[in-house]
Structure formats: C-alpha cells, structure tokens
C-alpha cells in the first residue's frame, strides 16, 4: 500500500495566460497566495495569516471594507482549520458578498514541508495548478457563485455588485504619493490618515505602510487622487498649501 502522494515538481510546460478574476481573493497564507497568483489575475489576494485573522483587527477592517465595494472570493484549505478560518471570514461580511470556492480534499504533503498537516491533506498551496485553473475558470464564466451558504460551490446568478469590481490599476499608490499628500512625514499625518481611512472603513492608528497597502487594495490610483484633492483634501486632512504645492 502506497503512502500519501507528495506534491512533486510539475513539468516544464509553456506558461499559460492567467485567468482574469474581477474579485479580490482571500486565502490563508503566503504560499497559498503565491500558488493562486500563478493561475489568476485578480485585483488583490489577501492572506489571513492563518488564525492571525482572529486577532488582526486591521486585516478584519480591510476585508469588511473590500466586501462593501465588491464581492470577495473565500478559498481556504480543505481541513478543519480551513473551515474555522472560512467561518470567521463569512461571519464578518454579508452572505451576498461571499463567493465560496473549495479545493478538493487530497491526501498528501507539500514538498516544502517536513511533516504533513494534522489531517494529512494538501492545502491550497499544494493543489495542482490545473485544478485551480478549472475552479477559477468556472468562476470567470459565471458558473460558480456560492453565496447561499450551502457550501457546495454551486450557484446561478452572479452576486449583486459584481459590476463594481475594479481591475488592477496600472498606477499603484506609492509611499511617495502619501508623503506628497501630507499623509506621512508631517506632525498631523497620522490624524490625516485616520480621517481619510475612516471614509473607507479602515481603523484608526494604522501605520503608514499598512495604510498604503490597504488603500492600494481598496482604491484605484484615480480614486485615491479624487479622495485627497479638491473637496476630498479637506476631508483627508491635507491642508490647502500642501495640495497647492502638488
């Protein structure tokens, strides 16, 4: 009797075009994110850092803010821990903003690991790329929109608000942008970030780096510019002199 299959190297096949998904995707960890990113082109891939999502209030606020803007895809490991993390995420956002995807439960161990998971099954990072392509292809074609809570990954109509999902912007929000807009480097920058962040559901007290990353997921560069210029400048705490200097 053979033991669990070990996730080995895949053949050096020609690089295939990524599947464009108009929704942010939530996965558990960095290696899950890398695996999924090798298959799809999505506006953002957000990691929960495993059970870190339970205590990371900034990440919770980011996910809630994302769900206000667009439906989000939830893809966790097919084991008990993945189920707990999925339940946590689903409890944070309305059902009609959830798109639940599921990878098959396959015995095995990822090649980077020295020991299998507690349940001895492959996670998202160990799922073969063709399986992920098939899963996301069905989503791209509108065949998978599980917002019912049934957990079977099946559905009919796309969830409401799908048309609001934004494509990945070509121009990213940079640290230099935040500095030029008075959101870093000035005595009142922290308060300015709090005021601007509150408009998009972000918690107060975020570091400049975390704030920039959150804005980069929630907003296109054009939306960011609108928020910090004109009437938006007053709301974000950027004074008229700083705005004029830009």
The mean per-residue pLDDT over the stretch 101-121 comes to 88
The sign of the dihedral angle between the CA atoms of 134, 130, 19, 147 is positive
pLDDT at 239 over 50: no
> Which tens digits make up the pLDDT trace of 124-178?
999 999 999 999 998 888 755 453 343 444 333 344 433 334 344 458 899 999 9
Domains, the chain, ordered by start: 17-164 (3.40.1360.10), 175-245 (no CATH)
| HEC readout, 121-153 | ECCHHHCCHHHHHHHHHHHHCCCCCCCCCCCCC
Are 89 and 241 in contact by the 8 Å Cβ rule? The answer is no
Count the neighbouring beta carbons within 10 Å of the beta carbon of residue 169: 15
- Burial readout 14-27 (b: 16 or more C-beta within 10 A, e: otherwise): eeeeebebbbbbbb
The pTM of the full predicted model, rounded to 2 decimals, is: 0.68
Most confident by average pLDDT, 28-37, 108-117, 189-198, 224-233? 28-37
């Amino acid at each position: 009797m053979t033991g669990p299959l070990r996730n080995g190297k895949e053949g050096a096949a020609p690089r295939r075009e990524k599947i464009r998904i108009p929704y942010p995707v939530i996965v558990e960890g960095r290696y899950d994110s890398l695996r999924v990113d090798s298959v799809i082109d999505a506006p953002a891939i957000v990691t929960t850092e495993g059970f870190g999502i339970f205590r990371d209030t900034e990440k919770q606020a980011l996910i809630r803010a994302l769900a206000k803007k667009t439906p989000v895809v939830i893809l966790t490991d097919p084991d008990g821990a993945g189920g707990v993390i999925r339940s946590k995420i689903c409890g944070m956002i309305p059902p009609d903003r959830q798109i639940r995807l599921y990878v098959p439960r396959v015995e095995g161990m990822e090649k980077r690991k020295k020991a299998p998971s507690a349940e001895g099954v492959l996670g998202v990072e160990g799922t073969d790329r063709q399986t992920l392509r098939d899963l996301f292809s069905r989503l791209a074609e509108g065949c998978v929109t599980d917002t019912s809570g049934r957990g079977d990954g099946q559905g009919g109509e796309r969830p409401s608000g799908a048309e609001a999902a934004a494509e990945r912007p070509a121009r990213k929000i940079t640290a230099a942008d935040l500095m030029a807009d008075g959101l870093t480097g000035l005595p009142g920058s922290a308060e300015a970030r709090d005021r601007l962040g509150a408009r998009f559901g972000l918690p107060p007290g975020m570091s400049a780096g975390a704030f920039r990353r959150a804005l980069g997921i929630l907003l296109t560069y054009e939306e960011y510019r609108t928020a910090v210029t004109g009437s938006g400048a007053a709301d974000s705490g950027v004074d008229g002199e700083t705005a004029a200097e830009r």
